[in-house]
Amino acid sequence: MNRTRQWIRWWLVAGLALVLGGCGFHLQTGATIPSKLTGLRVAGTGPSGGTLAQAVDRALQRDGNYAQQGGPLLQIDNAYVSQRIISISPGSGVALEFLDTLHADISVIGSDHKILLASQPLLMENSFSYNSGNPLATNEQQVTSQRLLMEQGARQILRRVLNSPVFRQQAP
């Protein structure tokens, strides 16, 4: 009896997968790139510009967009990360919590060198706590926090660009 139930469940799952696959259902992997932005290239300036540009480029590639020499340019200017101490231990005076802030300006320039999206500021924040039990872990925490900040910044940039009225695809 138990084995029969397993087979029934397996066939139900297989049948559901076939039905959903046949109707065009797919898991979301990213946003669809509008035709105006096909072949979008990404460039960055500033201390964190290259890292942020790479994060945006990876996200675009996951969605099937590969940079082309004559494609439009997503420009990330003056990208840098600042860090502030936001919590200090009253007993030892040691910093316990930090706030990393990503600053940048983003714009999109068309292949004809016209400004498609005017420059706009980007500001992303991420906090992390200091592990006083393992002082050597602080550097690893900081690296992980900044990597997360870059990925969040890349998603925010793409969200802004792809949802901009300039690039929003018209419904048929």
Q: How confident is the model at residue 167 (pLDDT cuts 50, 70, 90)?
A: confident
| Radius of gyration, CA atoms only, the chain | 22
Position 66 scores a pLDDT of: 86
Mean pLDDT of 141-163: 89
If one compares 16 and 97, the residue with the highest pLDDT of the two is 97
Position 26 scores a pLDDT of: 43
Q: Is the pLDDT of residue 80 over 80?
A: yes
- Which residues have CB under 8 Å from 49's CB, separation 6+? 43, 76, 77, 78, 79, 104
Position 28 scores a pLDDT of: 45
CA dihedral (10, 11, 14, 20) in degrees, to 10, reads -130
If one compares 136 and 91, the residue with the highest pLDDT of the two is 91
Winning range, highest mean pLDDT, from 12-16, 53-57, 81-85, 111-115? 53-57
CATH assignment, 30-162: 3.30.160.150
**Percent of all residues in the chain with a pLDDT value above 90, rounded to a whole number:** 37
Terminal CA-to-CA distance of the chain, rounded, Å? 52
- pTM of the full structure: 0.73
Pairing mode, strands 73-88 and 115-129: unpaired
